[in-house]
């Protein structure tokens, strides 16, 4: 939250007629006297977008689970990096990711998993045969295109 949004949102609580700032898009919204901004302060457009994303993400996850993913019976550590405090050598990381990608190659849930991963944009792990870094690259290219 920006300093500007903290101030304007605090003024609304004091009962003054103010503009408040959306937490997500930094867009200004009008707040009538005596009415507080929503908590968290998110404009109508962003709130609608968040509800839609939540619904789509939930449906995508249901589709992954319904397709009987191969990772369900595999070792979960194959698909995720070790604990934050554990160091993973580069060669071990590459071996782990290649093993996970091999499991994904024949997975019946691969397309559903890719759809889910592109909607949640994971920070780590292997999803549908792609690392989180590879998925971020695809997401950026698709937004630009």
pLDDT tops 80 at residue 14: no
Can you tell me the distance from the alpha carbon of 50 to that of 73, in angstroms, rounded to the nearest whole number?
Answer: 32
In this prediction, residue 113 carries a pLDDT of: 92
**Are 23 and 64 found together in one domain?**
no
In a domain, 47, yes or no: no
Contact 19, 30 (CB under 8 A): yes
How many alpha carbons lie under 13 Å from residue 8 in its C-beta half-sphere?
22
**Same domain flag for 36 and 103:** no
Q: Indicate if 73 and 139 belong to the same structural domain.
A: yes
Kindly state whether residue 48 falls inside one of the protein's structural domains. no
Rounded to two decimals, the pTM is 0.60
* Residue 138 and residue 118 in contact, taking contact as beta carbons nearer than 8 Å: yes
8 lies in which domain range? 1-42
pLDDT in tens, 72-106: 888 888 998 877 678 889 999 999 999 999 999 99
| Residue 130 token pair | 């792609």
Helices 110-120, 44-66: inter-axial angle, 10-degree rounding: 160
36 & 57 share domain: no
Instruction: DSSP letter for 80, please.
Output: S
Whether residue 34 is contained in a domain is answered as yes
């Amino acid at each position: 939250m920006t300093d500007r949004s903290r101030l304007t949102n605090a003024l609304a609580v004091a009962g003054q007629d103010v503009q408040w700032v959306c937490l997500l898009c930094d867009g200004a919204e009008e707040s009538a006297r005596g009415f507080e901004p929503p908590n968290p302060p998110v404009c109508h457009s962003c709130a609608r977008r968040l509800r839609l994303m939540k619904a789509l993400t939930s449906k995508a996850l249901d589709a992954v689970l319904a397709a009987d993913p191969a990772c369900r019976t595999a070792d979960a550590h194959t698909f995720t990096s070790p604990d934050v405090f554990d160091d993973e050598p580069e060669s071990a990381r590459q071996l782990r990711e290649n093993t996970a990608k091999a499991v994904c190659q024949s997975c019946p849930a691969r397309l559903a998993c890719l759809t889910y991963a592109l909607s949640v944009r994971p920070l780590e792990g292997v999803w549908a045969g792609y690392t989180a870094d590879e998925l971020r690259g695809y997401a950026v290219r698709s937004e630009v295109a």
